[in-house]
Amino acid sequence: MYDSIEITLPVSPQQLVLLNRKGLRGYRDVPERIVDEYNRRTRFHCTEYFVSNSNVTKSIWFDRRVEPEDSWRKRNPVSPGQRPG
């Protein structure tokens, strides 16, 4: 629907499936810090569980970090009684 939509699926500590409408195809090598950031972001959006194909985690996946002041959430707060999203 939108050209800017992106779907990310971390599949391991070293691999990430990234789907978008930017015309990129095939495998791309990216720095480990990029995969770690997507894994961190995905883990923080889990409500109960996250799954790893091994018994390995990285401390960076649990780093909450500070939300930027100009984030969408801070610029568009939810009113009381309103559902987010």
For residue 85, the model assigns a pLDDT of 55
Q: What is the mean pLDDT of residues 17-31?
A: 79
pLDDT level of residue 5 (50, 70, 90 thresholds): confident
For residue 44, the model assigns a pLDDT of 83
Higher-pLDDT residue of 10, 61: 61
Quote the mean pLDDT of the chain. Answer: 79
Whether residue 84 is predicted with pLDDT greater than 70 in this model: the reply is no
Are the C-beta atoms of 61 and 39 separated by less than 8 Å?
A: yes
For residue 80, the model assigns a pLDDT of 63
pLDDT digits (tens, 9 = 90+) for 35-75: 888 888 888 888 888 877 778 888 888 888 887 788 887 88
